[in-house]
Structure 1
Amino acid sequence: MLRGRWIGMLLLCLVVAGVFAWLGQWQLGRAIDSNPPPPDITENVKPIDQVVRPGQYLDAPLVGQRTEVRGSWVRGDFLLVASRFNDGAEGYWVTGQLRIAGTAEPTSIAIAVGWAPDEAAAKAAAQRLEKTADGSVVSITGRLISEEGADSPPQDQPRRMDRMSPAALLGFWHDTDELDVYRPYLAAQKPLGGLDAISSPAPVQQSPINWLNIFYAVEWAVFAGFAFYLWYRLAKDAWEREVEEFEERHGIDGPSAATDPS
């Protein structure tokens, strides 16, 4: 076991184990958030331009952030989204395109205005909201929520939407030439048009410990230990073969002496 090749392999194992140990330490450092966001940080109302930019995805810690936007409703763009649950009851959302005020380029965000228990009530609310789309600037406060992704509507109902997707809504909106659109949508805190308020509680605070990363760190430690075990097993097997060959050459019977012939 003191042969040069085994010493060289031991040094190689030390290097490999050192790399594994560094990777384990790196994973462990990522497993614990040393600077977690303060509790209830999402409850502080912020202007939307301090939270996310048009076209950007909403970072996970900012999902549910209470945000304020100012703009004007675009006429003809109050649309319905089906399969919306409010405290366990299924119904409809009425959504609208809000053109943000004071931006250099035309920019819009999808607003979930409120909830209705059935399609008839939702359509009636949308008609009432259309009358308010007179170009006046309004202020809307609500929670920013990541888009759900577009879904193909039934062939017999090409305008039906079951997911809250600004990308899908954009296909029905008016006046969209060179329009910048926010990827997340805003669930309004106060409903309009006689609708019910959308149930949108504060997001649950995430644990600062990422257990998956801790598991990976333990895995790297196991790999480092296995590198040493592999070296020991290979060296021991080689030594035992040399002992057997030595005994055969010299006609020695019985158990081998517990000494290294090298």
Structure 2
Amino acid sequence: MLRTALRPRFLGLLALVIAVGIAFGFLGRWQLGVAESTAHREAVEQARAQAPAELTTVLEPHAPFRDDLSSRPVTATGRYAATGQLLVPGRLLDGVPGLWVLTPFVVDASGATLPVVRGFVTDPADAGSPPAGTLTIAGGLAPGESPVSEPVPEGQIGSVDLSLLVNSWPGDLYNAFVFLEAEDPATGPGLTRVPTPLADTSIQWRNAAYAVQWWVFALFAFWVWFRMVREEARRAAAGQAPEPDGTASGAIAVTQPAAGTPVGAGDNGARDD
């Protein structure tokens, strides 16, 4: 089979198949990139298109966090608690390491506490105290984060773990937290805001399926070439195999009489008139 594959005709076909396979591979990768960028763009557009809703109309204290609430813009009126502020270490903002400032916000309409990421600092001493008085805050919702096992210093929490906050802050707790975007009345220059993460930036499966199809086509081209080589090798092997009597398969053996051998009457010899 290797000898058949090395024939000029099949080597030329192999070169063509390789070129087609490379082209299909690049097309698949391009389609996958389209899937990723499309998902990101749609997530941004979806987040921006939603009008802010009053928190109590979309979520109740201790209620499960629904998937459709991720990145949902909300507003809430209340006041920051005087105590209980925590720092969340190990965070990045534009590639800069630092900490989130996590502050309890008591919502007037429900009396429950909403964790609010007021901003980002690189030095714990810059966190400061939350503004006093009644405020209306606006920001994007997010579900609680997974627990972190690493120990952290006093006044810090490894992640926005709501199961820890419910035991640390008094009263009812919302099963979500907010990335602060604005306060009314404005409190002047303060902490660096942390943008609300997008709800969903996973790939679009339709475009991803197109990418897989291109890769399957590339593999199919190699498979067709392999089948052609194998069938040609089988035909060549079948044509070279001799029959047991030394004659070609299907041939009819004809015996000629030896020279000078008389032919008997009735055996197509000359007739006496």
Deviation at 1:236, TM superposition (A): 2.9
Distance 1:94 1:201, change over 3 A: closer
Query: What's 2:47 paired with?
Result: 42
Q: Distance in 2 between matches of 1:91 and 1:31?
A: 32
Aligned residues: 208
Deviation sequence 1:189-226 (CA, Å, 0-9, x none): 23687772333458799799887555422222123334
Counterpart pick for 1:56 among 65, 70, 77: 65
C-alpha offsets along residues 104-158 of structure 1, whole Å, 9 cap, x if unaligned?
xx86542112345643443x505xx5x65xxx7x532023356553323437x36
Provide the residue aligned with 1:125 in structure 2: 129
For structure 1, the residue ranges without an aligned partner over 5 or more in a row are 1-23, 253-262
Residue equivalent to 1:187? 179
Q: Of residues 114, 119, 122 in structure 2, which corresponds to 1:114?
A: 119
SS at match of 2:129: helix
Classify the secondary structure of the residue corresponding to 1:143: strand
Residues 1:80 and 2:77 aligned together: no
Residue 149 in 1 paired to residue 146 in 2?
A: yes
- CA-based RMSD of the aligned residues comes to 4.9
In the alignment, what sits opposite 1:95? 102
Partner of 1:19: none
Distance 1:180 1:169 in 2: 10
Indicate whether 1:197 and 2:191 are aligned. Answer: yes
Q: Quote the Cα distance in structure 2 between the aligned partners of 1:220 and 1:227.
A: 10
Residues 232 and 167 of structure 1: is their aligned pair in 2 closer, same or farther, counting only changes over 3 Å? Answer: farther
SS in 2 for 1:37: helix
Take 1:91 and 1:140, find their aligned partners in 2: how far apart are those partners?
23
Letter in 2 for 1:77: G
Q: Secondary structure at the match of 2:118?
A: strand
Q: Which runs of 5+ in 2 are unaligned?
A: 1-27, 249-273
Q: Do the aligned residues in 1 keep the contact of 2:51 with 2:73 (CA within 8 Å)?
A: yes
Q: 2:165 aligns to what?
A: 169
Q: TM-score, normalised by structure 2?
A: 0.51
Structure with larger Rg: 2
1:244 corresponds to: 240
Judged with a 3 Å threshold, the aligned counterparts in structure 2 of structure 1 residues 217 and 150 are, in CA distance, closer, same or farther, namely same
Structure 2 match to 1:255 = none
> Which residue type is aligned with residue 117 of structure 2?
A
> In 1, are the aligned partners of 2:81 and 2:106 still within 8 Å (CA)?
yes
Distance in 2, matches of 1:64 and 1:75, equals 27
Matched-pair contact (CA < 8 Å) for 2:112–2:171? no
In structure 2, relative to structure 1, the CA distance for the partners of 1:222 and 1:85 (3 Å cut) is: closer
> Any idea what the Cα deviations from partners look like across 1:5-57, whole Å, max 9, x if unmatched?
xxxxxxxxxxxxxxxxxxx9xx99x94969x6396543354225788895336
**2:159 and 2:56 mapped to 1: Cα distance?**
25
Residues 216 and 158 from structure 1, CA distance in 2 versus in 1: closer, same or farther, beyond 3 angstroms? Answer: farther
1:164, distance to aligned residue in structure 2 (A): 4.1
Q: Is the 8 A contact 1:68 1:139 kept in 2?
A: yes
TM-score normalised over the length of structure 1: 0.52
The residue that corresponds to 1:140 in the other structure is: 137
Structure 1 residues 248 and 200, CA gap change in structure 2 (3 angstroms): farther
1:112 aligned counterpart, secondary structure:
strand
| Identical positions, percent | 17
| Conservation of the 8 A alpha-carbon contact between 2:86 and 2:157 | no
Aligned AA (1:149):
S
TM-fit CA distance, 1:249: 6.1
Alpha-carbon shift at residue 167 of structure 1 (Å): 4.6
Q: Which AA in structure 2 matches 1:152?
A: S
